[in-house]
Structure 1
Amino acid sequence: DHATHQFWNTETMRILITAGPTREYIDPIRYISNASSGRMGFAVAQAAVNAGHDVTLISGPVSLLTPPGVTRASFVTVDELQSAVDEHFDSCDVLIMAAAVGDFTVANPLPQKLSRKNGPITLKLKPTSDILAAVAAGKTPTQTIVAFAVKDGSREEIETKARAEQISKNADFTVANTIDAMGKDQSLACIIEANREEPAVKWAHRPKTELAQKIVELLEARVR
C-alpha cells in the first residue's frame, strides 16, 4: 500500500540510480555491449519513487518507460556514464549502481564503417575505468552505496567474490546475482551488508520488482 508506506516514511532520500547497458563502439554503427535490459534499475526507481523519495535515474539504451515522478538522464558509453555519475553523486544520499558497465572498450575505434572486404580483423580492447570505485573513494559518512555483482559459480562462490568486491569498492550493500539474471524479470540473488556475516536478504528467486522493494526497505531502515 503506497499511501501507507509514504505516511510512515518521513525521511525523504535523494536516490541516484544507474541502469541498463553500456555500448563501446567498434566503428560508427557497431559496438560491444551486454544483455542488460535495465529492468532492475527501473524497478528500484519505481519502488523508491512510490515510497516518496527523490529519484534520479541515469539509464543506458533500453526500451523501458521512465517511471512517473523520476528524473531521467541518459548515457551510452562508459565515459558518458562516468560523467553523469560524477555530476550527480555529490548531491545524492544514495547511489544504486545497477547499470551493467562494460569492462572493456575498443582501443582504436574506426572512424568509418568496417567492411567484410577488409578480411579478418583483430580488435584490441583496453579496460574501462572502475566508476564505482572512483566515486566511492570520495563518499561522505552520510552517503550510502549499493553495488551490484553479477558473477558465475555456486552461491557460496558468488557471495565470496561479492564480499571481496564490496570491500574494495567501499560499498554499504551489494546485490549478488547469478549471471542468468541479466535480461530477465526474475533474479536469483542475495543482498550483502558491509560488516555483517549473514546476508541482509537471503538467497532466493524473486521478481526484480520484489528485490527492488527489499533494497528500498534496507535503505529506509538505515536512516530511521
Structure 2
Amino acid sequence: MPQEPGNSSPRILLGVTGGIAAYKSPELVRRLVERGADVQVVMTRAAGKFVSATTLQAVSSRRVRDDLWDAEAEAAMGHIELARWADLVVVAPATAHFMGSLAGGLTGDLLSTLCLATTAPVVIVPAMNHAMWAHAAVQANRAVLEDRGVTLLGPAEGDQACGEHGMGRMMEPADIARELLAERVGAGRLGPQRLAGVKTVITAGPTREPIDPVRYVTNRSSGKMGFAIAAAAREAGADVVLVSGPVSLPTPAGVRRVDVETAEQLYLAVHREIADTRLFIACAAVSDYRPRTASPRKIKRSEEELNVDLVRSKDTLSSVAALAHGPFSVGFAAETEDVERHALDKLASKGLDMIAANRVGPGCGFETETNALKVFWRDGEAEFGERSKSILARQLIELVAERYHAAREESRTSLLAAK
C-alpha cells in the first residue's frame, strides 16, 4: 500500500477490537482525519459485533480490512504492505484478549499479525471492565508490552457499560487524537522530537531510610508519575537516565535505570550523572529526614515508647540547581494545602527553573492512575486538569521542552549581547 504521490499526511493504521467501546472508533477516525491523518482501519472479527465496517469505511474513505485470508489483498502480501505503510499503529479499543495475544506474540488474525510485522510505533488504548483491568494477568501483560516499547494511552476512570464505575474506560476520541496528533508544533506521536539528544536525568519513587534491618522511614510514592515522565521524555528523543527508589515498575523502553534505596544513594547517583546533563527533573519523593543511626539488629518490641533521632537528608534538587552551568532544573511539590504558595516558595528558595505541584491526600495523587498538576516558572504558569499520568507526563514534557529551549535561546542572546 504505497503512499500516494505528494501526500505527506501521517499514516495511521487504526485497529479496532471487540469491545463495547468500539462504538467510539468511528469518532476517533473522524478526529484523526480532521487533523490531517490518513487512516486505514483494521477490524477483528469480534469488533464487527459492535461497529460496522461500512461506518468505519465511510469516515476513513478507505476499505476496511478485517481478514488475514483476504485472497485479493494477500495475493500481494497485503498484511506486510499494511505493516510497512503505517507511520503509527493504534489499537482503540484494545481488549484484555488482544493485550494478552500481543504480549504472547500470537498472530491469530490480521491485526495481531500487523502489530508484530510493523516497525512503526505501536500504541494501544485499553478498554475493559475495571475488575478485568485490575486483574494480575492483565497487569502482567501491560508490563510486558510497555517493557517492549508499546505505549498505552489510558485507561480512564469513569462510568462503564456494565453500570459500574472504575478504571478501565476507554479515553475519549478527542483526547486520543490530541495525544497522537497534537496541534502545537512538536507535539504528538508523529511530531518532531523536541528533546532529541538531550541528556535528561529523572528521579522517581520513594527513598527508604533504615531504622533497623526490617524497618525504615519513607514517603508514600508508587513511582508511576516519575516513570511516566521518563517514558515521555524518551519518546521526545531525550537520552534518559532514571534514578529510581524501590518500586515495582518495569523500566520504560530505551531508558537507562539506576536503582537506589536511600536519599544519600540518590544524591550520589544523580551527581555521578550530572556533569553532562542538560535537563534534570526531580520527581522522587525523597525522605527529608533520616535516622541519625540505624540499629544493626532488629529492635525488639519491649518498651512502651521508642524515640528515633532524625537528621536532615541531603537535598539533591537544591544541590543540582545551585551548580554553575548546571542543567535546566524542574522540581516537584506534593502538598496537602496551599499548593500554589508552597510551590512558589520552593521555586524561589531552591533556585529552580520550573516546578510542578499537585495536591496529595487520600485518593488524590498517591498510588492512583491519575493526577493533576499546576506548573510554575519565573514569569508564567500552566495548569493540567486530572487525567491519566501517562497523558499528563507527555503534556508536562512538552511544556518542559518548550521552556528548556526558550531558556537556552535567552542564554545565547545574553552571551551575544555581552560580546
Amino acid at match of 1:182: F
Q: Which runs of 5+ in 1 are unaligned?
A: none
- Residue 202 of structure 1 and its aligned partner are, at CA, apart by 1.4
- Residue 220 of structure 1 and its aligned partner are, at CA, apart by 2.3
Do residues 164 (structure 1) and 345 (structure 2) align? yes
Give the direction of change, closer, same or farther, for the CA distance of 1:207–1:10 in structure 2 (3 Å limit): closer
TM-score, length basis structure 1:
0.90
2:237 and 2:372 map into 1 onto residues whose CA distance is 27
2:281 and 2:324 map into 1 onto residues whose CA distance is 13
Q: Who is 2:300 aligned against?
A: 115
Q: Which runs of 5+ in 2 are unaligned?
A: 1-179, 181-187, 407-419
Q: Who is 2:248 aligned against?
A: 63
1:8 and 1:178 map into 2 onto residues whose CA distance is 30
Q: How does 1:56-205 map to 2 (within 5 A)?
A: 56-140=241-325, 143-153=327-337, 157-180=338-361, 181-196=365-380, 199=381, 201-205=382-386
Q: Which moved more, 1:54-63 or 1:201-210?
A: 201-210
Do residues 52 (structure 1) and 237 (structure 2) align? yes
- Residue 91 of structure 1 and its aligned partner are, at CA, apart by 1.3
SS of match in other structure, 2:190: helix
Q: Who is 1:30 aligned against?
A: 215
1:137 and 1:148 map into 2 onto residues whose CA distance is 16
- Residue 86 of structure 1 and its aligned partner are, at CA, apart by 0.8
Do the aligned partners of 2:220 and 2:366 also contact (CA within 8 Å) in 1?
Answer: yes
SS of match in other structure, 1:117: coil
Do the aligned partners of 2:195 and 2:238 also contact (CA within 8 Å) in 1?
Answer: no
SS of match in other structure, 1:116: coil
Q: Who is 1:4 aligned against?
A: 190
Cα RMSD of the aligned pairs, angstroms, is 1.8
Runs of 4+ in 1 over 6 A off after TM superposition: none
- Residue 21 of structure 1 and its aligned partner are, at CA, apart by 0.2
Instruction: Answer 1 or 2: higher relative contact order, Cα 8 Å, separation at least 6.
Output: 1
- Residue 117 of structure 1 and its aligned partner are, at CA, apart by 2.9
Give the direction of change, closer, same or farther, for the CA distance of 1:10–1:33 in structure 2 (3 Å limit): closer
2:260 and 2:193 map into 1 onto residues whose CA distance is 35
2:197 and 2:296 map into 1 onto residues whose CA distance is 47
Q: Which moved more, 1:130-139 or 1:93-102?
A: 130-139
Amino acid at match of 1:138: L
Do the aligned partners of 2:207 and 2:219 also contact (CA within 8 Å) in 1?
Answer: yes
- Give the number of the structure whose alpha-carbon radius of gyration is greater: 2
